[in-house]
Each structure stands twice: as structure tokens, then as C-alpha cells.
Structure 1
Amino acid sequence: MDGDPHGTARRSLPSRADVLVVGSGPVGATFARELYDAAPWLSVLMVEAGPRLTDSLGANVRNLDAGNRRRAQDLATRWTGQETSDTGRAGGRLAARPGTFLLREAGITGDDDQTGMPAAALSANVGGMGAHWTCACPKPGGSERIGFLEDSFDDAFDRACTLLGVTTEAFPDTDTSRELRRTLSNLFDAGRPADRRVQPMPLACTPTGHALPHWSGVDTVLGPLARGQHERFTLAAETVCRRLLHESGRVSGAILADRHSNETHLVRARFVVVAADALRTPQLLWASDIRPRALGTHLNDQPQIVSALALRDTAAGPSTAADDRRELLSGVLWIPFHEPDFPFHTQVMQVGTTPIEIPGADVQHRPVVTWGRFTTKDIRAEDRVEFSDTELDEFGMPAMTIHYGLSRRDRDTIARAERDMIAQAAAIGDFFPGSEPRLLPAGSSLHYQGTVRMGEVDDGTSVCDRDSRVWGFENLYVAGNGVIPTPTACNPTATSVALAVLASRHLAGQVSMGAR
């Protein structure tokens, strides 16, 4: 494969498959794995627009040493020519985080950093965002949950956590983490049920006995499919799905294109799953002239507020530094969403100690936490992705323009979150100068949702049914964060994997025994 650091040859594409999966992130991988377990006679073709980065399909690059991690991240994005930065800024300008790339300027509308989602970023590599993510897997609560799935969601969420390898024991307890949890519990636990109290963040990883766990990636979800050759499973990297072929409510196949030669290939499929993220899933449907009224609308992001504090009343530790601040993690605590008093999701990440003295603040060599908070947002049809019928992007797909903004209620919610963070932080420590709570540019969360949203009835306000099957189609499913129809504050990956578990069960149920 051209550009593949592991020298694996491009496998010839099959002319047909029982199931075509577009996208190789955690959700697409869930379909492949669940179908492999439930119906191993089915052939599955998975296509991915970007390159393979690791020996094991879709491994989390955070497990690599610093040099190999940087090489993998560069391979994923060097074709864009964009700068990347761990902080989301480079030279005073917005920059994508390593391994991802921003939508081009042509895809941004508006003048301020909350209009048009200027920090919207994508990935294009085997594993999708699962090759780069921070692995937080909180369970949604209250109005974050999808009401019409109450009978099936919890079981599916448990399965999602198994597939992702979720644990609350990623990091060992320390005196600092115990004291921090006690302080936060005193602030937040009163009146909450046990499962919504301050607790270790559920993380997709495996404890190693060392400072950091082994972080889960798509290879974790794929399990036995992540290595070696498999007769019934093929993953085609650097292959773009340009169009789905369909007639009378049934998809019959797709047109695939080689990223390098632009040569096209027709593949026939009995079922198609589009799991290409919340922006490119509706993009492919639009390109295929599948255009339900709600397609690309109700775009939902999670306004993200960040800050950094030095803890007080704890023993000083050795100073630490790293290329990626996530390497310094020594614990993550979760303050769950809980209505009506706390319509937020908060994660408190212990990131070692500051190695520098900051003038005017007594913070040298004190334990550091980043205090991050996500809020819910008003879900509005006017927040949407627009697709061009005349202009194409770098992948030969309809160019995208994002229309997005904050409502008055959104701004009030954000202001409340910032005020509360300042008041609550006083019990914990001291903000670093310049690290007081601040709202990041829209799109920074990478948690875009709603653009192929699920609905209980086909009333024009949703794209798919409770099984993630596109309204009006027998054999077309959509998947990923874009399916989530509710206003959420918590990280959505595990929820999206749970919805994919339900959808893959439905798909397997549609397969007749005569398909063997």
C-alpha cells in the first residue's frame, strides 16, 4: 500500500459482499465484530478513506512511543498541509490536533469562534478517531438518554463497554486522587443517586501496572479481526465510497474509488452500513441522492470549557513534562450529568505536576488538574451541514459548509457553567494565570451529533428508525455520533457503540438462514 509504513499490499477488492461498512472507526468496527460473532458466514467489506497507521488494525496511537506516534499522526494528515497542535492553536491560529485535520476555510461561515464551528475536525485513517481518542466512556443520564430505547439501551451499553474494554480501574489510587475525590464528593454528591456521584471516569483501556494503561482502539473492538487475513472480512484502506446505488428503497451496492489512482470499482452488497462520522455520513447519503428532509440538520456539538489548576494541601511531586499532556495522566475523575442542578459533564484529569514557576502564583511543583466541562446545547434544525451540488472536497465528495451557532439559552448555560467552575474550584486549588475557565471554539469537542438522527416515527425530523435503518430503506443503516438525537453533555463514543450494537443485532436478524 502506497504510504503504508508496514508494507502490506493492497488487497484486491471483492466484487460483492454481504455487508458493506463505510468507515473504520469504533462504530463501523462494532458492526464488523458483532456480525462476525453472530453470523460468521456473512462476508463483510469495510472501506476507509485514509491509510493504515499501525500493524494491528486501528490501534490507538497513544500506545506508541513518541517518535512512532508522531510518524503515525503525520501519515494520517500530511496530505492536508495543515499545522497540528496539541493545544488546538499554532501561531495564534486554530490548528487541528495531531492525527486530525480541520475543515477547509471554504467550509466555515461566520466571524466569531462560536459561529460556523471553526474548530470542526475530521480524521482519515484506519481506526478513525479511535486511533487518537482519549477513551472516556461515561454512561448518559436523564435527558441525555433516548427515551424510546429505555427497554434495550442498558444491555447494549454493557455490551459496548465490553467491546471497548471499559474499566474504572485505569489508574491506581494515590493520596492525591483520594483527597481530590473526597473534596469533589463533598461538593457534588448530595442528592445524587449512587451511579451519578463523583467517581473514576470509565475509560476504554487495560491497566498495565505501569504509569499508563494500554489505550483501546478499533483493534480492541475488532478482536480477532484486527490481525491477519480473514476469509470473510476485508478492510480496504485509502478507498473512498463515492456513491451508493439504490432503487425503490433498496441499496444494491456502491461505487468505490482508489485514493491514489482515482480508479473506481463497483461492489454489490446485500446490506450497507454508513459509519463515516457525523459530517461524512450525511455527505455520502447526499452524494447518493438519498436526501430525507432531516439529513444534515440538527447538528449538535457540546460547548467545551477548559481550565487548569494547581491543587493545594497535597504533597509536592517531581516535575514532569511530555510532548502530549495525556502522557502525564495519573487519574481521571468524572462528575456526571445530573438534572436539574448540574446539566453538565465534567472530567477532572490529574496530569502530573507543573515543572515551571509561574510569576504571581505559588504553584511550582504542585499537582495539576485540568478541569474540563461540557454543556448541553439547544438542538435546532437550523444548525446544519450544507452540501454543494457543484463543488467537491479533497475526497471527490460534495463540499461541506457548516451553519452553526449558539442560542441565548446556550450562552446562559455556558455562563452558568463558567461561574460555577470558578466558585467550585476554590475548594480544590488555584487557577494558573491565564488558565481560568474559557470556552473553546465551537467544534473543539469533536463530539458532533444529530445529522442522521434517530427518531421514533418518520415525521420528517429524523433520518433513521430505532434500529438505525434509514427511513424508507430495507437494507441501509447509518451509525455513529450523528445518530444520537438527544442533547448530551457526556462523551458520546460508548453511546454510539451501544446504538451500533442494537443496529447490528437488527441487521443480523434480517439475514435469512439461506444466506449461508
Structure 2
Amino acid sequence: MSLPVRPAYDLVVVGSGPTGSTYVREVYDHHPTARVLLLDAGPRLSDPPGLHVKNIQDPAERARAQRASEGPGPAGRPGTRLLGTPELPAAAVSTNVGGMGAHWTGACPRPGDGERIGLIADDELDTHLTRAERLLNVTAHSFDQAPFADEVRRRLSAHFDPGRPAHRRVAPMPLAVTPRPDGAHTWSGTDVVLGAAARDERVEIADLCLCLRVVLDGGTVTGVVVKDLTTGEERGIAARAVVVAADALRTPQLLHASGVRPAALGRYLNDQPQIVHAVRLPDEVVAAHRAVTGRTRDEDGAIVPQSGVSWVPYTDAQPFHGQVMQLDASPVPLADGAGIEPGAVVGLGWFCAKDVKSDDRVEFTDGVTDAHGLPDMRIHYRYTDDDLTTIEQAKKAVTEAGAALGVPLGDAPVLLPAGSSLHYQGTTRMGPADDGTSVCDSHSRVWGTQGLWVAGNNVIPTATACNPTLTSVALAVRGARALLAHLARADERTPVSPA
């Protein structure tokens, strides 16, 4: 990698995960002459850039890509590095081109009830969610042929659906995957989001390129200062607009380092408490399936390499979200599958809506820096009494779901350590006014600045329980509309000068 060669850009995007890549794609599609720089502090893992690691066929090469994403320090889940913070002990990040989009489970449910964002009209939000689904290539039919999937949903529906509106009933989980004719799947990474933009000379992707700060003059963005992590060289790069999409922990860190410090910066940190359990479908169900299909375990493994994923949506009455993943679809090992029919072991993961509080935050200390020279972070986080009540309700719901499905494996449902969800939100949340409770407006423009946007799960202001990526990509689509208008106005003025 070498530092970008162009003297100036219309747009610099810091962070190449799903939302940063969404800004690149939207500007690329709708501004035919825009020059765009996409920065990432991590390495490029693949060609095309941003490929999901599950699509790497060679196991050794896939493991190498995951290790390269972890960076220094203790490893968390494959592809992530633990931050080692006492109050959020499972907090972890990925550092690579594609961000967490190279490692995620691809779950893309739409938010509902209290998860919705009241700042945005429902019809407008739904339009943005539809665009997000297209960018991520989302389908609810990726595992229609998975063994036992219909039976799993039938049993879950019988327990959870009564009294629910149609759009909040048990359903197949919408997933960012493309089914292949051989029964396997291609998982959507940010290569899918970027599309042709990743191969066009108007878009430059710089890996191992750390953004040290955003530069502003009188509150107006003029560019960024970056560091080549291979050579140590630093330089300034001029830009008409900057989007910081560096995740919910490192986005507020970069804003703090840049002197952009709204009162809510880093506050309202939202990690979804996660509860897991596992069951095995009854023997008679497994036997009936085999009698009907004639399939054997090996044949199923070849035809359906990943088993079904089902969804129990959030409701205000039940403020948690169920992700029911059969056997090898689960990213969390829940049971030994040796000698068990694929799909017969079902992992249940329930995510709870957090009682979002200002005091849950990531804090930065001037004069103390991390390994990259950025302000060192400390996380403050705790469960409130309301959180503990919701967690107990979710444990009860998981237990009932397990009983409806089959025979429990292991002990009672387990609350994973805080931070396990990897769904961190809220630290640069949007709001209706610059009143100290938000960092940006409903178009993701940072208060008190011109030309500066933030993106990612950190922009979501509500207490969600569902997987947040689809929502944050939809908000990036909305923000990109405002950014395009900003660039159009800039086009009418004097072109940007070299740094």
C-alpha cells in the first residue's frame, strides 16, 4: 500500500464496512464525476476487496484472512480482536478492508415497533430499507431447502405467533446471501455493496491507511490527515466531504481526536444482551424427515452446507429478538454435532433491547493514546434493573422456545458476557435537534459542522434488539442523499484545492 496519490477528493470515507461502502456506492452511482477515497486501517484480504471470508474456499486461506483481521492483542471470535475492557469484557473489533462485513452472519431483519426511528417517516424509512436490502442482496428464501427448517418454524410459530400482527410473526430470517445451484451460498460482503465502484478508477481504496484526524476550518471540513501504517509516512488529503464510518467505538474516537466533541459523543452506548441455548429436534421428527426425503447425513451436508435460520421478531410486549440457527449456521459453537443429522441441532440466540442510558459510554482521555496514537478509550457500561428484568423475560422465552422445539442440550439458557453481540450502537446517535443528546441530525450530518457525516450502527438512536446492519445501511442511504446535495452545491463553487 502507498498513500493516495490524488491531491484532492470530493469524498473521503473512513472505514470500509457496510455503511462506509454504502456512501461510496451511492455517490458513485449518482455523481458521475465524483472522486472518492475509501480508507481502512486494516489489510486488504481479497480480490475483489471486501469479500466475505466464508466465500474463501481454502480453509487455510480463510483462517489466514481471519487472523489478518484481528490485529495485535487477544483474539475474540474469528476475525475479531478483544479490547479487554472490564465493563464490556467481550467487546471486539475487526480491522480489515470490508470491516465486520467480511465476517458477519448476514442477518438482515427489518426493525419493528419501538425499534423504528421516529425521526424518519415510516414510508421513507421503508424506502431506505428496501434500498439497503438491494445493496446487501438480501433474501428470505436462501435456505428454503434446509432440512427441518419448516418444522422448526412451525413449532416456533405455534408458540409465539398468537396475538402478533402478521409482520411480527415467526418467519425465515432475511439474509444477505446468494443461493447457488449446487446448494451452497455466496455471502454478501462489502464487495457486493461496492459493486462496480470497487473496480473504477474514480474510486481509490487504500488499505493499511490510518486516519489520524479530520481537518476542519471554522467548522467546515477541508480534508483528513492519514498515516501509512507500512512506512509511517503522514500526509494531509483535501476533501469536500468526509464520512467517518469506523464502527461504534472508533468513530467517536476519531471525532474526539479531531476536536469534534458534541456533548453526546461516545454516550448512549448500546450493546444487546445476548442469551444462548441449544436443543435437539426429537428423534421422531428426524426419522420422519429421513423417511420422506430419503436423504442421509452426508447427502444433506453436501446439498445444504448451511442449515436454516429462522426469526422471532421483536415486539414492544416482548422486547427481544430471536435468531434460531440450525447447527453449522451458528457462529457460536453451542453443541457437538458429531453423529447428528445436519439441522437437527438448533441454536437459539435471543438479543435484548437495552435500557439505553447516557452514562453507558466510551470515554477518551487527552494525553493518553493507544497503539495508533489515537486517544485511549475506556468503556463504562452496566445493566439497569430494567435490563435485568428483560434478560429474565428473554431467558424464559428461550426456555419455552427450546421446549417447543425438542430436547434441551446442556443447562439452562446462558447470558453471554457483555459485548458478545458485536452489535454496538448509539455512540454517535442521530437526533431531532442539537440539544446535547445526539451527535448528528437525521441525515447523519454532525452537528455544528459542514461536510462531515458519521455512519454505522453507532448512528442508530433507538433501543433495538434486531441485528442492526440493515438499519444502519438504510440510514447511510438517507445520509448519502444529503451528501450528494452537498457535493452538488460544492460543484457550483470553486473546485477544491490541493492539500
State whether TM-score is above 0.5. Answer: yes
Larger deviation, residues 16-25 vs 505-514: 505-514
Which of 451, 467, 475 is the matching residue for 2:443? 467
Q: Give, as a single letter, the amino acid of the residue that structure 1 aligns with 2:80.
A: T
Alpha-carbon distance in 1 for matches of 2:346, 2:208: 39
SS of structure 1 residue aligned to 2:476: helix
Which of 478, 484, 490 is the equivalent residue of 1:502? Answer: 478
Q: 1:301 aligns with which of 260, 265, 271?
A: 271
Structure 1 residue aligned with 2:104, among 126, 133, 149?
133
Task: Give the match's secondary structure for 1:307.
Answer: strand
- The amino acid across from 1:343 in the alignment is P
Residue 260 (structure 1) aligned with residue 259 (structure 2): no
Partner of 1:150: 121
Corresponding residue for residue 349 of structure 1: 325
> Is 2:21 the partner of 1:45?
no
Residues 359-388 of structure 1: CA deviation (Å, up to 9, x unaligned):
xxxx88881110110000111010000112
Asked if 1:73 corresponds to 2:73, the answer is no
Q: Deviations over 1:195-229 (max 9, x none)?
A: 21111100001011334311000000000123x3x
Name the SS for the 2:477 alignment partner.
Answer: helix
After superposition, where does 1:215-254 map in structure 2 within 5 Å?
Answer: 215-226=187-198, 228=199, 230-254=200-224
| Aligned match of 1:17 | 9
Partner of 2:332: none
Aligned partner of residue 427 in structure 1, secondary structure: helix
1:457 match? 433
Paired residue secondary structure (1:461) = coil
Q: Report how far residue 183 of structure 1 moved.
A: 1.1
1:256–1:265 Cα contact (<8 Å) kept: yes
Q: Is the 8 A contact 2:278 2:410 kept in 1?
A: no
Q: CA deviation at 1:175?
A: 5.9
Q: CA RMSD in A?
A: 2.0
TM-score (norm 1): 0.88
8 A Cα contact 2:147 2:343, kept in partner: no
- Whether the 8 Å CA contact 1:354–1:365 is kept in 2: the answer is no
2:301 equivalent in structure 1: none
Does 1:185 find its partner at 2:178? no
1:433 CA displacement: 2.0
Residues 1:438 and 1:319: Cα distance change in structure 2 (over 3 Å): farther
Shift of 1:249: 1.7
Structure 2 unpaired stretches of 5+: 291-295, 299-303, 329-334
- In structure 1, what residue type is equivalent to 2:227? A
Q: Which residue of 1 aligns with 2:402?
A: 425
CA distance, structure 2, for counterparts of residue 405 and residue 130 of structure 1? 28
Q: Which residue of 1 aligns with 2:353?
A: 376
What is the distance in 1 between the residues matched to 2:147 and 2:341? 19
Contact 1:44 1:233 in 2 (8 A): yes
Q: Which amino acid aligns with 1:514?
A: E
Mapping of residues 85-96 of structure 1, within 5 Å? 96=76
- Offset from partner CA, 1:75-103 (integer Å, 9 cap, x none): 222x4153x4xxxxxxxxxxx01111011
**Separation in 2, partners of 1:131, 1:471:** 31
Letter in 2 for 1:231: E
Q: CA deviation at 1:420?
A: 2.2
SS in 1 for 2:410: coil
- Counterpart in 2 of 1:334? 311
Which segment is superposed worse, 121-130 or 342-351?
342-351
Q: Which residue number corresponds to residue 56 of structure 1?
A: 48
Structure 1 counterpart of 2:101, one-letter code: G
> Percent same amino acid among aligned pairs?
50
**CA distance, structure 2, for counterparts of residue 54 and residue 328 of structure 1:** 23
Q: Does the residue aligned with 2:324 lie in a helix, a strand or coil?
A: strand
The answer on 1:416 being equivalent to 2:393 is yes
Say if 1:211 and 1:330, in contact at 8 Å, map to a contact too. Answer: no
Matched, 1:34 2:26: yes
Greater than 6 Å deviation, 4+ residue runs: 363-366
Matches of 2:28 and 2:147, distance apart in 1: 44
Q: 1:491 aligns with which of 459, 464, 467?
A: 467
Deviation of residue 69 (structure 1)? 0.6
After TM superposition, the structure 1 stretch with the greater mean CA deviation from structure 2, 466-475 or 307-316, is: 307-316
1:429 is displaced (CA, Å) by 0.7
1:319 shift after superposition: 5.5
The reply on whether 1:441 has 2:417 as its aligned counterpart is yes
Please name the residue that 1:5 is paired with. Answer: none
TM-score, with length taken from structure 2 = 0.91
SS of 2:119 mapped into structure 1:
helix
Instruction: Indicate conservation of the 8 Å contact 2:264/2:436, yes or no.
Output: yes
Give, in whole Å, the separation in 2 of the partners of 1:35 and 1:242.
24
1:455 is paired with a residue whose SS is coil
Instruction: Indicate if the aligned counterparts of 2:279 and 2:409 stay in contact, CA closer than 8 A.
Output: yes
Letter in 1 for 2:449: F
Q: What secondary structure is seen at the aligned counterpart in 2 of 1:17?
A: strand
Q: Find the counterpart in structure 2 of residue 479 from structure 1.
A: 455
The residue type paired with residue 188 of structure 2 is S
Q: 1:102 aligns with which of 45, 58, 82?
A: 82
Segment of structure 1 superposing worse, 393-402 or 294-303: 393-402
Provide the residue aligned with 1:112 in structure 2: none
User: How far does residue 356 in structure 1 lie from its aligned partner after superposition?
Assistant: 4.0
Alignment of 1:280-295 (within 5 A): 280-295=250-265
Displacement of 1:430 in angstroms is 1.2
How far is the alpha carbon of 1:13 from its aligned partner? 3.2
Aligned to 2:492: 514
What code does the residue aligned with 2:237 have? V
